[in-house]
Structure 1
Amino acid sequence: MTQKLMMLLTVGVVVFLSACQQPLVKKVATKHEASKYFNDPVITHKVDSVLSMMTLDEKIGQLTLYSSGWDKTGPSMNENYINDIKAGRCGNIFNAFSPDYNRKLQKIAMEQTRMKIPLLFGYDVIHGQKTIFPIPLGEAASWDLKSIQKTASAAAAEAAAAGIQWTYAPMCDIARDPRWGRVSEGAGEDPYLGSKIAAARVHGFQGTDLASDTTVVACVKHFAAYGAPEAGRDYNTVDMSERKLRDVYLPPYKAAVDAGAGTVMTSFNDLNGVPATASHFLMTDILRKEWGFNGFVVTDYTAINELVPHGIAKDDKDAAALAMNAGVDMDMQGGTYSKYLKELLKEGRVTQEEIDNAVRRVLRIKFRLGLFADPYKYFSNKREKKLTYSKYHMALARQMARESMVLLKNDKETLPLKKGQRIALIGPLADSQRDLLGSWHAAGDWKINKTVKEAMVEQFGKSNIRYAKGCDLRGDNRSGFASAVAVARRSDVVVMVLGESAEWSGEAASRAHINLPHIQSELLEAIHKTGKPVVVVLMSGRPLALDKEVPMTDAMLEAWFPGTEGAPALADVLSGKYNPSGKLPMTFPRITGQIPIYYSAKNTGRPYTKTGKEQKYRSRYLFTPNTPEFAFGHGLSYTTFSYSAPKLSTVRLQMGDTLHVSATITNTGNYDGTEVAQLYIRDMVGSVTRPVKELKGFRRIFLKKGESKTVTFDLTMNDLSFYRKDMTWGTEPGDFKVFVGGASDNVKEAAFTLVK
């Protein structure tokens, strides 16, 4: 090719891309609109036009994602990756979150590459960028969809200003084994609650205008069933029926896709013998053909390479072919597409159509984000400075942390703490800054956090707080016990902040036993023996097994890892400035041996019911109750609530109609408070066995002291549907029970019949 021809081609590309700068459609996809929005004809035309001018190497570059690293001076990058960007062999970067540095990389793509296609920058913005909100499991405990959407929106705004356009969230994995460390990143055990939260987070990240400089594109992860690894061990194998997959694990992913999520990430696990990254069944049959998803699919970190140790590919080249054939568009960090796609195409093991379709999907997202219109709009030091730790974001963080906290126990109205009480503050987490943020806290700076000790002094006065650490999180050093006991004896009430290190949950952080470390439990026992009222505040990234500790406490509050403003929020709750309203999104077992334990279990042919008589040949343990320590949906308040029996609009519901369920809730205590009313159903007889309870609705309602309100739920045919014996989705006529109450194990019931 002559130099003159090359110059003409370059000019042509620049002229064409300039023509693509006109504003794009900005309406965000809502349920069932995602496919229509992705297939916008204007964007499709632009994508196809760009694609038609790309070389094969440039196309493969758009399917390649590499990580930026960090050294002592800040962000840095492997020189080979820089050269790949210049050559058009790398079109996407992750783990770079500096406006200045990202601008430099974008400048390379826009000034030194032939096609001048903007880079896409991704990062793990899981529960905040710099202003850190409670871990997702904690946010789920709020059951407040509006607040969850707001925190995702705030996180997106901060991330976008830092040069990030793509977040690897929400995690939509249902998890029923709290040994698995990544339960901290999800919404718990229930597909209905998980689906609502998944959609809320997608809408929060992506907003009403994906081309805005305050929104980022969401990535639904980890597809699929990553939350069900054998033995609760991260990355482990998953084996389940298709019925269980569709009933329990797929709904939150689908809800996120229906909400318009632009990207999906493959999971590390195999599913019924096929690793997700090589699963045509997941990536093409379900995701694209059934659900109509037309965004792009990215692997998790080196997941294509890991097909080799999985034993399904003989080498990386074989793995790349399997992933591309399955419908995986982008290779995160593994370099397999970059190295082998050209060869594989020549050999006929992948097709040009597969490669072109993958590139189309990537380019479509870049157009939707407005990157072609302004490649530099996401890099703004001024906007980052304005948004980071802003008054609004910090207030939102404090409110979300308050809402996430769950009052598990409160005997004799130990909480809220009384004015003027002498408070002993004890425990290894009482003066920790770092642990408040939890795992995956993006660019959050733990050094700006107030500790619980500092927040308590601020809330209650220095003269009323007596502090002693007592012990470390783990180990056998009991040298601090004596001073802790002495402090407790000189006080009116003891607040102990116990639990996990932030590093004990998250990725690669599974625990074989989820009890408190023995040193903390022994410290609690020593304090309990003083006879002082004991309040235990738990910080953790998962439900804990607390059968030994619960009897030694007068009150217990689950605070999770509550984020940047977590300590002041905790002080607000302990003082009564805020009345707790959180409800558990995941069951707390008594002991680890009960796992998996969840509220929506099936009845079995020999169900155990406590009758006072011996029931030997029943589904039970010999020396431990079947029941959990704290059930799904459980959460107390400083006030009390009573529920009337549910009233139904009819007891004979015609197929196709909607059932209206109402109940009156009264605040019968001495404080104003918020209650989360929960609606459950049970299908009494089905063509396949059905759960004993299924969540189908919830309402957060605020009631003043003595006030009553009636809440109404609408049960549709979709709520009554399931995958029947022949695996078709739909309803079956028959008898149902309806339950309304404040927790899955504290409900009142009514009954109706669904008739043809």
Structure 2
Amino acid sequence: MNETKLHDLIEKMTLEEKAAQMSQVVSSFIHKGSSDEKITGPFAGMEVANEDMTGSGSVLGATGADNLRTIQKAYLERSRLGIPLLFMADVIHGYKTVFPVPLALGCTWDPKAVEESAAIAAKESAAAGLHVTFSPMVDLVRDPRWGRVMESTGEDPYLNGVLARALVRGYQGDDLKNDQSKLAACVKHFAAYGAPEGGRDYNTVDMSRRQLMEYYLPAYEAALDEGAELVMTAFNTVEGIPATSNKWLMRDLLRKEMGFDGVLISDWGAVQEAIPHGVAADNRDAALKAVTAGLDIEMMTPCYVQHLKTLVEENVISEALLDEAVLRILKLKNKLGLFENPYRGADTELEETVMLSETHRKAARETAAKSCVLLKNEGVLPLRKSQNVALIGPFAESTDLMGPWSIFGEEKDVVSVRTGMTEKLDTEPAVEKGCDIEAVLPEQLEAAVEAAKQAEVVVLALGEHSEMSGEAGSRTNIKLPDAQLQLVAEVKKLGKPLVTVLFNGRPLDLHGVVDESNAVLEAWYPGTEAGHAVADLLFGDTNPSGKLTMSFPHNVGQVPVYYNSFNTGRPKDQIDPEDRFASKYLDAPNGPLFPFGFGLSYTTFTYSSLALSSEVMEENGTIRVSVNVQNTGAVAGEETVQMYVRDLVGEVVRPVKELKGFSKIHLEPGETKQVVFEVDEESLKYHHSDLTYTCDAGEFIVSVGPDSRNTEEGRFSYSPAGRSGQE
């Protein structure tokens, strides 16, 4: 259908029909016989149930090819103009085949693997009849108290942007209309949702506009540049105004400056939440502010349905506001080919074939192994398949390994650690729970200690229940629960080699674990193939290659702690250690326990011969940065080589390091490869105090290494013609 016909369709629509297109509800409001509805937000206090929402233009949470075909058919039969429904859902890190949580996907540093995970999620979801996924979440995160860090790819704007592009490509492909194995991607949460005060979900966000531009917007911009079709608003405030009601944020920044002309949808209930925020008096006021700000679709509150019609009739707003929103919604439906085929993708036979297929499981297993990060290894790993192993802990046999936002995955399909290890070992491991996640019984602990006494090596499977992180999963204590720390302490007393595998959705305070363990593997929530992936790593069939994309603090008192921080006027490392008056803690280091980019391997890599092609970068020029990386160990491995840049003197304060490139390489034992990066003017640009995005003349440090802490450095100057200093 061409755009002229879409305009003609809008001309025929009543105000009620337009408001309905701009409203989204769960499927039970559309069709009473619908099933498999996944509820991902609160109903309490909402007035949707009191409204006639049967004409709503989109549905969230429903799934299943037969179910969605039934809902669509019934909807079209009563639709006066034959406009099809859009089906949307939270497909965050897999549909039936669940991949690692996004924070873990980030730790792969592998855009191709991340893109493939999204493509597989799209293929399974589309076969089930879905059209849109509320992913990727590209919020930059620095505070592990916030449970939703698991849904981000980490603390760095550059890497988040690279992976945002990969996810959008995987979901959408090149042709949404003709490739029915794809979904439209919805970037979220606009904007700065990842910076709530105190790490408390839905809490106030307050930052400078320059901070927003410099660190929080780049990943959104990358996703939109890749063609993401939708954007979701955030729950938080931006400059004192809730994002969903924020005209500057939506119309000026997102629409005008960033050039986004796709569909803008609220998060669950966010329009009505303008009332408790204190910027709207009632539902009418909330609807007025949201539509004026440019919000196209209201999710799960009735403000638009109740009040848009009367706001137009009373000349408070122009009908053109509704028309522009409805046009964007119809354009999306048209891009998906729904006017020609309202049952797009929904295929029961294909559904049975693609869900949890062998190919999809294999990809999930490989990606999960790439996402795990080896934090410590005192020679105890890899395990030998002939060893007598005790597997102990609340996650030894658990299938709660998919993590939050795996709403369509099923625990019955998850491979446990016990299953994965048993397939590797010559003799089945002794398995004891040792404790529950947050409680311990004496008999549990006693049985675990007895099993450990008989073993050559002990593997502890510890972590967070999936409900302990994710949305509304904020915590002030980010240690493992005391019950698990007690288990670690008791097993440690035996003096046996101790390997700890962690399943969690955030960086943890690992005191009580890391010093007591001979090896620590951060497995995050690995997904459907968790047990296989972890066993592949523990026994050396796969060499760990994951690298952290979020720093691990020494303790929660350091939070937020992140690698690309400012130096301050009294930097600790440039002042006498005995001098009290430096920027430091009296009781803890400044830096994290494990820094951004960190991750060990079963082999070792040596960096040497860092070289710059020139000591001066001229205007529009580039500098080649090369380094030799050698595998100095006995087994093949993958290394993620990271390049950072520092602007020594800026017009505003600049970070001590900023990631500007990375390269993942495979090296056989003894093999050396030269890795080459290019630094150009774009690598040096930043937002100045007047928000212009440009670079300064001056001195720069470029550093290359295996993580953000351990790097080799070189220097160059940038000298554009006719300029000097910070102009």
Q: Secondary structure at the match of 1:497?
A: strand
> How far apart are the structure 1 equivalents of 2:21 and 2:680?
44
Select the residue among 349, 352, 371 that pairs with 2:316.
349
> How far apart are the structure 1 equivalents of 2:70 and 2:639?
50
Aligned-pair RMSD on alpha carbons?
A: 1.8
Select the residue among 623, 632, 641 that pairs with 1:677.
641
1:45 matched residue in structure 2: 4
Corresponding letter in the other structure for 1:446: E
Q: Secondary structure at the match of 2:204?
A: coil
2:387 matched residue in structure 1: 421
Distance of aligned partners of 1:445 and 1:75 in 2 relative to their CA distance in 1, 3 Å threshold = closer
Segments of 5+ residues of structure 2 without an aligned counterpart are 721-727
2:124 matched residue in structure 1: 158
1:52 CA displacement: 2.1
1:477 CA displacement: 2.9
Deviation per residue, 1:196-219 (Å, 9 max, x gap) = 111110110001111121001000
Distance of aligned partners of 1:578 and 1:244 in 2 relative to their CA distance in 1, 3 Å threshold = same
Select the residue among 353, 356, 373 that pairs with 1:406.
373
CA contact (8 A) 2:385 2:424 kept: no
1:23 matched residue in structure 2: none
> Is 1:598 aligned to 2:598, yes or no?
no
> How far apart are the structure 2 equivalents of 1:428 and 1:616?
44
Alignment of 1:337-416 (within 5 A): 337-411=304-378, 413-416=379-382
Corresponding letter in the other structure for 1:419: K
Q: Secondary structure at the match of 1:551?
A: coil
1:99 CA displacement: 1.2
> How far apart are the structure 2 equivalents of 1:61 and 1:378?
24
Select the residue among 598, 602, 607 that pairs with 1:638.
602
Select the residue among 258, 261, 267 that pairs with 1:294.
261
Greater Cα offset, 621-630 or 318-327: 621-630
Greater Cα offset, 192-201 or 376-385: 376-385
Deviation per residue, 1:523-581 (Å, 9 max, x gap) = 10111111111111000000001133211111000000000011111000000000000
Deviation per residue, 1:159-196 (Å, 9 max, x gap) = 01111000000001101000101001110111011111
> How far apart are the structure 2 equivalents of 1:645 and 1:628?
28
Percent of aligned pairs with the same residue?
46
1:83 CA displacement: 9.7
> How far apart are the structure 2 equivalents of 1:75 and 1:670?
51
> How far apart are the structure 2 equivalents of 1:223 and 1:265?
6
Corresponding letter in the other structure for 2:25: Y
Select the residue among 200, 221, 233 that pairs with 2:188.
221
1:68 matched residue in structure 2: 27
1:613 CA displacement: 3.6
1:16 matched residue in structure 2: none
CA contact (8 A) 1:85 1:109 kept: no
> How far apart are the structure 2 equivalents of 1:202 and 1:170?
7
> How far apart are the structure 1 equivalents of 2:702 and 2:430?
49
1:319 matched residue in structure 2: 286
Q: Secondary structure at the match of 1:550?
A: coil
TM-score if structure 2 supplies the norm length? 0.95
1:84 CA displacement: 4.9
1:352 CA displacement: 1.2
Q: Secondary structure at the match of 1:753?
A: strand
Counting matched residue pairs gives 710
CA contact (8 A) 2:162 2:222 kept: yes
> How far apart are the structure 2 equivalents of 1:153 and 1:319?
37
Q: Secondary structure at the match of 1:235?
A: coil
Select the residue among 550, 567, 586 that pairs with 1:586.
550
Select the residue among 683, 688, 691 that pairs with 1:724.
688
Corresponding letter in the other structure for 2:425: F
1:80 CA displacement: 8.9
1:68 CA displacement: 2.4
1:110 CA displacement: 2.1
> How far apart are the structure 1 equivalents of 2:28 and 2:468?
24
1:116 matched residue in structure 2: 82
> Is 1:502 aligned to 2:469, yes or no?
no
Greater Cα offset, 468-477 or 560-569: 468-477
Distance of aligned partners of 1:130 and 1:720 in 2 relative to their CA distance in 1, 3 Å threshold = same
1:644 CA displacement: 1.3
Distance of aligned partners of 1:692 and 1:645 in 2 relative to their CA distance in 1, 3 Å threshold = farther
> How far apart are the structure 2 equivalents of 1:267 and 1:155?
24
Deviation per residue, 1:318-359 (Å, 9 max, x gap) = 000000001101000111111110111122222211111000
Segments of 5+ residues of structure 1 without an aligned counterpart are 1-19, 21-42
Distance of aligned partners of 1:80 and 1:503 in 2 relative to their CA distance in 1, 3 Å threshold = closer
Corresponding letter in the other structure for 1:210: L
> Is 1:511 aligned to 2:478, yes or no?
no
Deviation per residue, 1:486-505 (Å, 9 max, x gap) = 21111111110111011111
> Is 1:458 aligned to 2:423, yes or no?
yes
1:708 matched residue in structure 2: 672
> How far apart are the structure 1 equivalents of 2:36 and 2:402?
22
> Is 1:527 aligned to 2:491, yes or no?
yes
Q: Secondary structure at the match of 1:437?
A: coil
Deviation per residue, 1:98-155 (Å, 9 max, x gap) = 2112111111232221100010000000001111000011111000000100010000
Deviation per residue, 1:436-475 (Å, 9 max, x gap) = 11111131111122211111111113x2511111101102
1:274 CA displacement: 0.5
TM-score if structure 1 supplies the norm length? 0.92
Corresponding letter in the other structure for 2:453: R
Select the residue among 121, 134, 158 that pairs with 1:192.
158
Distance of aligned partners of 1:566 and 1:699 in 2 relative to their CA distance in 1, 3 Å threshold = same
1:518 CA displacement: 1.1
> How far apart are the structure 2 equivalents of 1:611 and 1:532?
43
1:73 CA displacement: 9.4
> How far apart are the structure 2 equivalents of 1:480 and 1:620?
43
1:659 CA displacement: 1.7
1:15 matched residue in structure 2: none
